[in-house]
Structure 1
Amino acid sequence: MSLALVLAAGALLPGCGVLPGTDEDRRTVTVWLMRGSTSAEFIERFTRDFEKRHGDIDLEIRLQEWTGIGDKVKAALKSEKGPDVIEVGNTQVAQYVDEGGLYDLTLESARDLGMKDWLPGLAEPGRYNGSQYGIPWYAANRVVIYNKDLFAQAGIEEPPKTRAQWIADTRRLNSGGNQGIYLAGQDWYTLAGFIWDEGGELATEAKGTRRVWKGSLHSAAALRGMEFYRQLQALGDGPRDADEEHPPQAGVFAEGNVAQIVAVPGTARAIEEKNPELKGKLGYFPVPGKTAAKPGAVFTGGSDLVVRGKTEDRRSAVAVIEALAGEKWQKDLARTMNYVPNKTTLASAVAGEEGIAAMAAGAAHGRATPASPQWAAVEADNPIKAYMSKVLAGGDPATEAKAASRRITEELDVSGS
């Protein structure tokens, strides 16, 4: 069976097509990676190289689907038999730790993996109660995708580097039947970046306690972030009561009269498929910050690598993570999949790709959602979205923010009180 067919079937992938040996000294490490996170060719290269360098270890790499993965991982963590290494979403680590199923990798991360250079948006959510359970693997985040022709028509020679300039340029672009920016009213990930830039938080952990989180959208800093969002959103015709997928913003941008959207660089492919005339006319820049000294904060998506607490061979599992998170394979993965490597010091690996380079610049100042095991409950019926729509429709920001903060606090209350 070809490698491609084995991948498609989600079957195990022993390196180089060689079955694990029968020697008592040989060990097999089972790794769960998510479908779409990497390519068959990358897995083949990595497996061949790893098994060559570790002659006593065989790899079984199994591809998993994102749909339903939470329950599957939780079951595996409780089982006596299961994968040794698992790729998980960076914001999922806390809930798995909370259930007691992960191995504490603090010593390994500090000693061998260069944690001081990790992207904060991957490292911070992988940390729980002061210990490192998730090792950053790859990142992706939003940038500004813009129409170069519309910028040229408006006399804008280079992308803005500050928020103030961004607003000024967007006003110039918002003429002649064009939208300066298309920003949906409920794009809460983009709002989160503005809140973080102001020094605010979506939720904060109560001092001197563990697992007591409270919504903080009503803080002065968070309200400043919402005010900037309101100003920017008003410079286009994005719906106030919907997110960026309703309708898909790629389709709106493809119509040709939108100057900017905030999206991951890969959105450009969908835009060009819908409107081939835009090929070669799309540019990218990091979300501007308050000053030109650094880009704005952005929500960092991506994956961390974890070790199942009940694995029988922690040493070999850690060896796999050390390789996947190390410089050689980080550069390979970034170039193969157009991701941001896990360290700021490796950003040069994607310097030749405009969109990925813009993404890497933003990722250096990226963040993730609050590291509460209950955060998924907040997103399930997201009060942040409703709050944004109410403010954009003219509601009092302070009043609506307090109501949304109460909802977040209730969802994060593990006591159920």
Structure 2
Amino acid sequence: MRRRLLALICVTGSLASGCGLLPGGHDRHTVTVWLMKDSASKEFLARFTEDFERTHDDQRLDIRIQEWTGIVEKVRKALRSHAKDAPDVIEVGNTQVPQYVDDGRLADLTLESMRDWGKEHWLPGLAEPGKEGNKQYGVPWYAANRVVIYRKDLFERAGITEPPKTRDAWLGDTEKLNSGGDQGIYLAGQDWYTLSGFIWDEGGELAQEKDYEWRGTLDTPAALRGMAFYRRLQALGEGPVDSDEEHPPQAGVFAGGKVAQIVAVPGLAQAIVQQNPGLKGKLGFFPVPGRSAARPGTVFTGGSDLVVPQNTDDQFAATAVIGALTGAKWDTELARTMNYVPNKTTLAEAVDGEPGVAAMAAGAAHGRATPNTPQWAAVEADNPIKGYMTRVLGGADPATEARRASRKITEALATDLG
């Protein structure tokens, strides 16, 4: 918020602080920014703060780092607050934005985003969750998504000279990799984020809104085709059908040395090499293949948006911070520093030098997020998609199980979150 600071009173508890009055008698005004832990390095934030305060000499930044645990309720409380230290800019997970929009306490940033923030090039997986109707509340900041991490040496041994670009070729190559005791792919049975991409590729949805009501749609023909492909791919490895990719952690499974491919964020490669240094230099990355070679497969896109609370008393200063953070200069520097995907498709070339991030960027151009409703959190709280996947992979009838899971999703989407 835009607050007057008396001389000799300093901003505390932040990564960057200002004190006193500017030369010439102008008051310094503080913009309080909440960012999430590990979203940006201290060095990046120090450079950004110095540059922003140099180019906005009447403003000072108070950047406060938040933990992800318990953040939803903390943000909701802040959005209702009128305390002097309430935030003016908040980083939120892209799929969390609909919850805050539903509370009715976010500033409408439509005009700013239409005017000069490059809205037409935003990644859809970040932009869509930040939007309700024709109004934009969340501004895309950075993204990350799954790619295929693979063993280059095992591909070479199987006679595969380049990564597959279509789903059919992916199945064929994975079958070739199933030799000599190796798994062509390790894919856990409840990896519902990966399944979502296959459903979207087929033209299906996890849920859809009609006449202001949301309903689960896993039982549509398109969604069932997505599940059918998942079942074919998953069967080419030994992934457990009754657990997700974290049980056991797939980085450890891959590090065991008998797996040719996993679907994961590229940053997991570092953990793999730490557990098995012998794999250093042997890992490669490619986008999840699509139905045709014309474009990569659709993937779930995670990441963060920036929002402004309605209760800020200086929206102009708050949007100045967002404009700087999400602009080409600092967004590409953040992407290079933290191995993220930049917020716009036009900035993808900035990460071409990092193979894993470049593979992410190719997929993010067609990325999606979970259904744009605040009630989706109730679905994930006791996720029926996971049980549906396990039962189908165990031999149950897909159509019957999809109808059952869709009913449960519909019931969860009718939940009153209060």
Q: Normalization by structure 2: what TM-score? A: 0.95
Letter in 2 for 1:366: G
Contact 1:14 1:20 in 2 (8 A): no
State the Cα distance separating 1:27 from its structure 2 match.
1.4
State the Cα distance separating 1:101 from its structure 2 match.
1.2
State the Cα distance separating 1:20 from its structure 2 match.
5.3
Q: Which residues in structure 2 correspond to 1:11-410 (within 5 Å)?
A: 11-14=13-16, 18-19=18-19, 21=21, 25-81=27-83, 82-206=86-210, 208-209=211-212, 212-410=213-411
Contact 1:88 1:304 in 2 (8 A): yes
State the Cα distance separating 1:340 from its structure 2 match.
0.3
Contact 2:151 2:284 in 1 (8 A): yes
For residues 196-231 of structure 1, the C-alpha deviation after alignment (integer angstroms, 9 at most, x for no partner) is: 00000000011x43xx21100001000000000000
Distance in structure 2 (CA, Å) of the matches to 1:374 and 1:100: 15
State the Cα distance separating 1:109 from its structure 2 match.
0.5
Q: Secondary structure at the match of 1:366?
A: coil
Flag structure 1 segments of 5+ consecutive residues without an equivalent: 1-9
Letter in 2 for 1:361: A
Contact 2:378 2:415 in 1 (8 A): no
Aligned to 1:7: none
State the Cα distance separating 1:11 from its structure 2 match.
2.6
Of the structure 1 ranges 106-115 and 184-193, higher mean CA displacement relative to structure 2 is found in: 106-115
Q: Secondary structure at the match of 2:163?
A: coil
Distance in structure 2 (CA, Å) of the matches to 1:21 and 1:337: 35
Distance in structure 1 (CA, Å) of the matches to 2:287 and 2:363: 6
Contact 1:11 1:63 in 2 (8 A): no
For residues 113-146 of structure 1, the C-alpha deviation after alignment (integer angstroms, 9 at most, x for no partner) is: 0100000000001111321100000000000000
Contact 1:142 1:359 in 2 (8 A): yes
Distance in structure 2 (CA, Å) of the matches to 1:131 and 1:220: 32
The 3 A distance-change label for structure 1 pair 20 and 174 is farther
Of the structure 1 ranges 101-110 and 229-238, higher mean CA displacement relative to structure 2 is found in: 101-110
Distance in structure 1 (CA, Å) of the matches to 2:130 and 2:260: 36
State the Cα distance separating 1:175 from its structure 2 match.
1.3
Letter in 1 for 2:220: S
For residues 243-271 of structure 1, the C-alpha deviation after alignment (integer angstroms, 9 at most, x for no partner) is: 00000000000011100000000000110
Q: Secondary structure at the match of 1:124?
A: helix
Contact 1:20 1:28 in 2 (8 A): no
Q: Secondary structure at the match of 1:121?
A: helix
Contact 2:21 2:27 in 1 (8 A): no
State the Cα distance separating 1:296 from its structure 2 match.
0.1
Aligned residues: 402
Contact 2:26 2:58 in 1 (8 A): no
Distance in structure 2 (CA, Å) of the matches to 1:120 and 1:21: 43
State the Cα distance separating 1:25 from its structure 2 match.
3.9
For residues 346-390 of structure 1, the C-alpha deviation after alignment (integer angstroms, 9 at most, x for no partner) is: 001100011000010000010000011111111011000000000
Distance in structure 2 (CA, Å) of the matches to 1:132 and 1:246: 37
For residues 168-188 of structure 1, the C-alpha deviation after alignment (integer angstroms, 9 at most, x for no partner) is: 000000111000000000000
Sequence identity, in percent?
69
Contact 2:167 2:292 in 1 (8 A): yes
Q: Secondary structure at the match of 1:302?
A: strand
Letter in 2 for 1:238: G
Contact 1:20 1:58 in 2 (8 A): no
Q: Normalization by structure 1: what TM-score? A: 0.95
Q: Secondary structure at the match of 1:221?
A: helix
Distance in structure 1 (CA, Å) of the matches to 2:143 and 2:13: 26
Computed over aligned residues only, the root mean square deviation of the Cα atoms, in angstroms, reads 1.2
Contact 1:298 1:365 in 2 (8 A): yes
Distance in structure 2 (CA, Å) of the matches to 1:105 and 1:125: 14
State the Cα distance separating 1:414 from its structure 2 match.
4.3
State the Cα distance separating 1:80 from its structure 2 match.
1.2
Flag structure 2 segments of 5+ consecutive residues without an equivalent: 1-11
Aligned to 2:3: none
State the Cα distance separating 1:415 from its structure 2 match.
5.7
